[in-house]
DNA sequence: ATATTATGCGCC
DNA sequence: AAAAGGCGCATAATAT
């Protein structure tokens, strides 16, 4: 009999390597484990009041689905505890349901359903709110094993009065049952189930983690630090000598003032005027002084000045009676204390090296309330052309600061370390990143702690030297007998555009494996596609164009930029600004494009119509006035049931003139379905890949899936299976049309080409040549 | 001292 | 026609 099993863990909550309640940190353990099988009238639990890394969830052979809330957390724990039932469960096709993930998808991925909590979700499905007591104890830093068994049981299973059929377990079950019904009625069940397998894949990826070559990282960090010092030294020579504070090259305000002129604030500890007296402020002090005959006092000791004693004595009062008879009279008087010193703000004006362009103006103002201007990479590049002297050193410093601080490690003045390497376990050199399933509006994944979706690409400069070597530190856990494998979809978003729009010419071009950038070059310069390919990619000369100063390779790059911007929905003005073309030129290209692929235009209008039709009121803060305002929110449902949600924004000026005050954003309308569907395809395929790896016992435990970045998948393989893994992965990844056409009844008629690479680390990759 | 916003920049 | 999409992280500056 098939049945589901709801389960949940309460663990100790030590945070380590940027993970709360980190299962990879051996001091943590599962304190209480609760579960409830389908049909049971109450939940049950196991309690482990002392450290234990062996307990695990028993999964009966007839269990077909594990149900949880943020189930990746609990599954990682079961894996860390070495649960032997889990792999068997997966091998016989066991599936999972994560209430947090389902809630996010059912809710169209809007803010309110991203990283939803059990607490806020349960009431939507007739569940109860949690016991605050436990949450408060945790917030106070109390460890889970210090919470009483009774309280923890009430929290996990519900109280005796509730028949032990509530709490986290009861709520998770209610949520699950309600969500399945809802998903069915909305036609989303299949899609959600496919994504749940994707979730199992990323759980596996987080569990396996990445192996970091800490030696490589260490020596590279040394080089970077030395390069940074050199850039800093160079920059220091451009600071005015009379500057009364240390210039901060990381401060946008200070940089703007130095380059464009402006007034900066600096702090100094110095004396100041007392507001009451108008004098320099001083500390209060008292002194015991000798009283003179006229009542004044003096600090001079009458007996201290040898020959002048007699003379001096005359002026002093002497006590006439009592214990102190014959002694000089003294008195405690107030005297001027030390000058007081405090931190104070001062202004310093800098003349600047050049004039800013108005469009570089930022929202921030300087200390004199004058505008500041952008000092980002694009601006610096322009300034280099104007002959501003330190632009090269500044660009170099920016690059190195970013590289060191984000991808290596930096310790600040307070001793707080930042950077990717702070997430690495120093014992086994493993990095367990996070792949988040409920963090984006488009249903794409995000990555954090560290973010492994933004590692610097392996780009070469003119001399063929890599600009960043970050990826070199990711090596195989099987080294020296291992290879990393990366497989990428080529031009995934263009392919998805073909799937969604079904535009005949686009579909044909995709099947013909046309180089879209060359095709655009051909169109623009009125040459044949064949000639364009020869000119742009093979360096075959076209004198007529070259005499006009055009270079084939550059023209292709321009076309590439153009198409990326179009894909993101950029308008003619923005593209012109970014590519250096005139607005008219860009408009002509857009027109060309729309004539060539009219299906894209009609698909976009279809999306817009659906969103407008489905729109309902939605309250949000007006960024212009800061006030709460009624906007609208509508949805477009993709071919698999994924819902993309859009909101209206304050309309741009040209629409306001015509009386339209708010509107949906065309770039968002164009982008979300493409970006989201691409993400969905990859996540579904992650599930297929993972099922394949499970079936083969991970190639005899010699190959693991370890990371994914929107349109690619990484694996860590033993050399004995590398080629087989790469071949299998490619086959499965390319099978998107078959999967969706069979399972969803879609009619995908474009290929999903995949490119495979492998190497001893993630930087030195070479292409896999398939027969 | 901690939280939030602005800026900038890495990726797809 | 018209409006360049989605993330996470580090740092500085400001608010509380």
Q: A211, A207, A210: which is closest to A90 by C-alpha?
A: A207
Bases of chain C within 7 A of a CB of the protein: 1-14
Please name the nucleotide lying closest to A373, CA to C1'. Answer: B7
Interatomic separation, CA of residue A735 and C1' of nucleotide C10, rounded (Å): 40
User: How far is it, in rounded angstroms, from Cα A473 to Cα A760?
Assistant: 10
Which residue has the least CA–C1' distance to nucleotide B12?
A710
User: How far is it, in rounded angstroms, from Cα A195 to Cα A189?
Assistant: 10
Between the alpha carbon of residue A460 and those of residues A307, A456, A469, A663, A768, the distances in Å are 89, 11, 10, 43, 21
Please name the nucleotide lying closest to A470, CA to C1'. Answer: B10
User: Radius of gyration over alpha carbons of chain A, in Å?
Assistant: 35
Interatomic separation, CA of residue A659 and C1' of nucleotide B8, rounded (Å): 36
Interatomic separation, CA of residue A316 and C1' of nucleotide C6, rounded (Å): 87
- For residue A307, the model assigns a pLDDT of 47
Which residue has the least CA–C1' distance to nucleotide C5?
A568
Please name the nucleotide lying closest to A404, CA to C1'. Answer: C10
CB contact at 8 A, A442 and A263: no
Interatomic separation, CA of residue A110 and C1' of nucleotide C7, rounded (Å): 15
- List CB-based contacts (under 7 A) with strand B: A 252, 362-364, 372, 374-380, 398-399, 402, 406, 451, 453-457, 459, 468, 492, 709-712
CB contact at 8 A, A443 and A496: no
A380: tokens are 């610096």
Bases of chain B within 7 A of a CB of the protein: 6-12
Query: Average pLDDT of each block of 10 consecutive residues along chain A (771 residues)?
Result: 94 93 96 97 96 97 98 97 98 98 96 93 91 83 91 94 94 98 98 97 97 96 94 92 90 92 88 84 89 84 60 70 82 89 87 89 88 89 88 92 92 88 95 95 94 88 81 97 97 95 96 93 91 92 92 86 83 82 86 92 96 94 84 96 95 91 93 95 97 98 97 97 98 98 97 97 94 74
Residues present in chain A in total: 771
- For residue A308, the model assigns a pLDDT of 52
User: How far is it, in rounded angstroms, from Cα A516 to Cα A562?
Assistant: 11
CB contact at 8 A, A436 and A198: no
Interatomic separation, CA of residue A523 and C1' of nucleotide B10, rounded (Å): 33
Between helix A71-80 and helix A84-91 the angle, nearest 10°, is 120
What is the DSSP secondary structure assignment for residue A280, as one 8-state letter? B
Interatomic separation, CA of residue A360 and C1' of nucleotide C13, rounded (Å): 19
Interatomic separation, CA of residue A77 and C1' of nucleotide C1, rounded (Å): 55
User: How far is it, in rounded angstroms, from Cα A425 to Cα A170?
Assistant: 36
Which residue has the least CA–C1' distance to nucleotide C9?
A406
Could you identify the residue written with the tokens 């724990």?
A: A77
Interatomic separation, CA of residue A621 and C1' of nucleotide B6, rounded (Å): 18
| Strand order, beta sheet including A754-759 | A703-708, A712-718, A482-489, A754-759, A766-767
CB contact at 8 A, A172 and A74: no
A544 burial type by CB count under 10 A (0-12 exposed, 13-18 middle, 19+ buried): exposed
Interatomic separation, CA of residue A253 and C1' of nucleotide C14, rounded (Å): 13
Please name the nucleotide lying closest to A18, CA to C1'. Answer: C9
- For residue A314, the model assigns a pLDDT of 62
Interatomic separation, CA of residue A714 and C1' of nucleotide C11, rounded (Å): 31
User: How far is it, in rounded angstroms, from Cα A398 to Cα A228?
Assistant: 9
Long-range Cβ pairs for the range A146-154 (8 Å, 24+): A149/A32, A149/A47, A149/A49, A152/A10, A152/A31, A152/A32, A152/A47, A153/A32, A153/A45, A153/A47
CB contact at 8 A, A166 and A157: yes
Please name the nucleotide lying closest to A623, CA to C1'. Answer: B5
- For residue A215, the model assigns a pLDDT of 96
Which residue has the least CA–C1' distance to nucleotide B7?
A252
Could you identify the residue written with the tokens 């390597």?
A: A17
Interatomic separation, CA of residue A239 and C1' of nucleotide C6, rounded (Å): 39
Q: From start to end of A547-639, where are the E strands?
A: 616-621, 628-637
User: How far is it, in rounded angstroms, from Cα A255 to Cα A263?
Assistant: 11
pLDDT digits (tens, 9 = 90+) for A638-693: 999 999 999 999 998 899 999 999 999 999 999 999 999 999 999 999 999 999 99
Which residue has the least CA–C1' distance to nucleotide C12?
A251
A513: tokens are 């494996």
User: How far is it, in rounded angstroms, from Cα A726 to Cα A487?
Assistant: 8
Which residue has the least CA–C1' distance to nucleotide C14?
A364
The CA-to-CA distance between both ends of chain A, in Å, stands at 46
- For residue A739, the model assigns a pLDDT of 98
- For residue A575, the model assigns a pLDDT of 86
User: How far is it, in rounded angstroms, from Cα A316 to Cα A329?
Assistant: 8
Q: A62, A69, A283, A202: which is closest to A706 by C-alpha?
A: A202
């Amino acid at each position: 009999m098939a049945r589901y099993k709801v389960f949940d863990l309460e663990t100790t909550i030590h945070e380590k390597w940027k993970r709360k309640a980190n299962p990879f940190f051996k001091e943590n353990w599962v304190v209480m484990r609760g579960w409830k099988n389908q049909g049971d009238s109450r939940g049950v639990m196991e309690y482990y009041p002392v450290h234990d890394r062996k307990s695990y969830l028993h999964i009966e052979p007839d269990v077909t689905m594990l149900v949880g809330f943020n189930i990746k957390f609990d599954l990682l724990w079961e894996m860390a505890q070495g649960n032997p039932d889990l792999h068997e469960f997966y091998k016989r096709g066991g599936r999972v349901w994560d209430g947090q993930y389902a809630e996010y998808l059912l809710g169209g991925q809007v803010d309110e359903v991203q990283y939803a909590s059990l607490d806020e979700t349960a009431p939507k499905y007739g569940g109860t709110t949690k016991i605050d007591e436990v949450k408060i104890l945790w917030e106070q830093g109390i460890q889970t094993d210090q919470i009483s068994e009774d309280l923890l049981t009430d929290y996990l299973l519900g109280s005796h009065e509730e028949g032990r059929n509530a709490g986290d377990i009861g709520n998770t079950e209610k949520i699950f049952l309600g969500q399945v019904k809802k998903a069915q009625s909305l036609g989303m069940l299949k899609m959600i189930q496919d994504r749940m397998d994707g979730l199992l894949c990323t759980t596996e990826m987080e569990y396996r983690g990445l192996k970091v070559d800490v030696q490589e990282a260490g020596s590279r960090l040394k080089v970077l630090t030395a390069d940074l010092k050199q850039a800093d030294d160079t920059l220091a020579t451009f600071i005015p000598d009379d500057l009364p504070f240390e210039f901060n090259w990381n401060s946008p305000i200070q940089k703007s003032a130095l380059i464009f002129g402006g007034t900066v604030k600096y702090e100094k500890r110095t004396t100041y005027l007392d507001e009451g007296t108008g004098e320099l402020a001083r500390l209060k002090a008292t002194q015991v002084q000798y009283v003179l005959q006229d009542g004044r006092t003096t600090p001079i000791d009458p007996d201290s000045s040898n020959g002048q004693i007699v003379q001096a004595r005359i002026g002093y009062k002497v006590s006439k009676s009592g214990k102190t008879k014959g002694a000089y009279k003294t008195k405690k008087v107030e005297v001027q204390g030390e000058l007081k010193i405090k931190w104070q703000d001062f202004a310093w004006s800098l003349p600047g090296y050049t004039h800013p362009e108005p469009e570089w103006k930022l929202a921030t103002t300087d200390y004199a309330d004058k505008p500041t201007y952008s000092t980002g990479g694009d601006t610096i590049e322009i300034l280099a052309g104007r002959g501003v002297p330190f632009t090269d050193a500044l660009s170099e410093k920016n690059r190195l600061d970013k590289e060191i601080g984000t991808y290596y490690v930096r310790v600040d003045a307070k001793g707080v370390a930042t950077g990717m390497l702070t997430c690495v376990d120093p014992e086994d050199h493993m990095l367990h990143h996070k792949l988040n399933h409920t963090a984006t509006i488009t249903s794409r994944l995000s990555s954090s702690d560290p973010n492994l979706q933004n590692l610097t690409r392996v780009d070469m400069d003119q001399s063929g030297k890599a600009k960043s070597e970050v990826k070199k530190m990711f090596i195989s856990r099987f080294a020296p007998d291992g290879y990393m494998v990366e497989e990428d979809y080529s031009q995934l978003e263009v392919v998805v555009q073909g799937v969604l729009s079904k535009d005949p010419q686009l579909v044909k071009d995709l099947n013909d494996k046309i180089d879209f950038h060359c095709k655009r070059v051909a169109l623009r310069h009125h040459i044949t596609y064949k000639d364009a390919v020869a000119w742009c990619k093979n360096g075959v000369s076209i004198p007529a164009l070259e005499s006009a100063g055009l270079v084939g390779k550059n023209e292709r790059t321009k076309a590439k930029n153009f198409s990326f911007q179009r894909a993101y929905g950029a308008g003619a003005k923005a593209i012109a600004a970014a590519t250096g073309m005139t607005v008219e030129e860009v408009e002509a290209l857009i027109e060309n494009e729309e004539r060539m692929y009219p299906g894209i235009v009609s698909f976009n209008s279809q999306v817009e119509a659906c969103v407008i039709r489905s729109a309902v009121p939605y309250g949000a803060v007006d960024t212009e006035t800061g006030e709460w305002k009624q906007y609208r929110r509508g949805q477009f449902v993709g071919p698999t049931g994924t819902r993309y949600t859009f909101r209206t924004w304050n309309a741009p000026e040209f629409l306001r003139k015509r009386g339209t005050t708010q509107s949906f954003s065309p770039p968002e309308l164009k982008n979300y379905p493409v970006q989201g569907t691409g993400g969905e395809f990859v996540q579904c395929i992650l599930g297929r890949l993972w099922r394949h790896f499970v079936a083969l016992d991970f190639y005899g435990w010699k190959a693991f899936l370890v990371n994914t970045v929107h349109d690619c998948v990484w694996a860590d393989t033993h050399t004995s299976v590398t080629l087989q893994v790469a071949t299998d992965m490619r086959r499965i990844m390319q099978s998107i049309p078959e999967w969706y056409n069979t399972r969803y009844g879609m009619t995908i008629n474009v290929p999903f080409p995949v490119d495979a690479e492998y190497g001893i680390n993630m930087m030195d990759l070479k292409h896999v040549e398939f027969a």
